[in-house]
Structure 1
Amino acid sequence: MVRTMIRPAVPADVPVILDLIRELAEYEKAPLEAKATAEQLHAALFGPHPAAFAHLAVDDESGEPVGVAIWFLNFSTWHGVHGIYLEDLFVRPAARGRGHGKALLRELARICRERGYTRLQWWVLNWNAPAIDFYRSIGAVPMDDWTVYRVSGDALGALAGEPAA
């Protein structure tokens, strides 16, 4: 049986985290959209004011990182406490089905409980049936009564009052 070690990322992990992010972008059929650089990732995770956090799933047999969870804090005005928003959860295809993803989620749930956070939440692409099935198997429920909105690119500039390009 494969065992998983979950550990917080350290600065030396930035290259492998970047590789995992790119592999996730490939899986999600958007390889050209993953534009983060090692410098940006290092600043976000390990700079003076970290904006995000990462945990790695490391295969005990090989010692190699096989998965990553990248997350940040959100805040519930109704509960008055933080929660964890999981930005990315990715396990390399060859390592799937061995408990690495569940171990990463278990660690984030443990952090929530330890710190008094009331929520662990994330988005999933509608076409990603394997992920949806997995999430439901651990008790996650879809928030069907909410719709995600995003402003980016030229629309973001216009909203900010910038002149049109």
Structure 2
Amino acid sequence: MITTRDATKNDIDTLFDLILGIAKFHNQEEYVLTNKEEMLNSGFNNEPKFGAIIADFNSKVAGYLSYTWNYSIWNGCEYMNLDDLFVWEEFRGQKVGLMLMEHAKNICKEKNISLIRWEVEKDNVKAIEFYNRLGAKITEKGIFRWHLNASN
């Protein structure tokens, strides 16, 4: 049985393990710069900067979805920016990802939000197929990252 729930500060260890899990899956562990303390301070206060949903499969943590809120000046509305969707390998193919996406959709409906937006690695064929089955549409657009530091 799959259940989903909004993450709380008591889930910080689990969330951090899931973040490391997705980073390892994509061979991007060196890009994880956050830590549990930062996550607690930024995600579980009076003005959280992110939200997260945890999925349990028969009482075992199976995956998570994290998100932030953003505003589209072109659309003239707020939207959910899906940051990560990750399911542990042993739970893939069990509809865990679908349940996480449905939970996110319900959060948006409660806030009268009509758009969820996210990125996907071009070579992640299974994820792209999954998102297509949801009815989501992929667009081709490059993503720039400009990391600013004292020398810029």
| Normalised TM-score (structure 2) | 0.93
Please tell me whether Structure 1 or Structure 2 has the larger radius of gyration of its CA atoms: 1
Q: Which runs of 5+ in 2 are unaligned?
A: none
CA deviation after TM superposition for structure 1 residue 72, in Å = 0.6
| Aligned counterpart, 1:135 | 131
Give the corresponding residue for 2:142: 147
* Alpha-carbon offset, residue 47 of structure 1: 2.3
- Please state whether the residue corresponding to 1:73 is helix, strand or coil: strand
Structure 1: 5+ residue stretches without partners = none
Residue matched to 1:89: 85
| 2:107 is the counterpart of 1:111 | yes
TM-score (norm 1): 0.87
Decide whether the 8 Å contact of 1:52 with 1:72 is kept in 2.
yes
Identity, in percent, stands at 26
CA distance in structure 2 between the partners assigned to 1:31 and 1:23 by the alignment:
9
Runs of 4+ in 1 over 2 A off after TM superposition: 78-81
Distance 1:163 1:11 in 2: 36
The C-alpha deviation readout for 1:45-85, integer Å capped at 9, x for no partner, is: 102321000110011x2x12111111010112233321100
1:28-56 Cα shifts (integer Å, max 9, x gaps): 11122223210011112102321000110
1:68 matched residue in structure 2 = 64
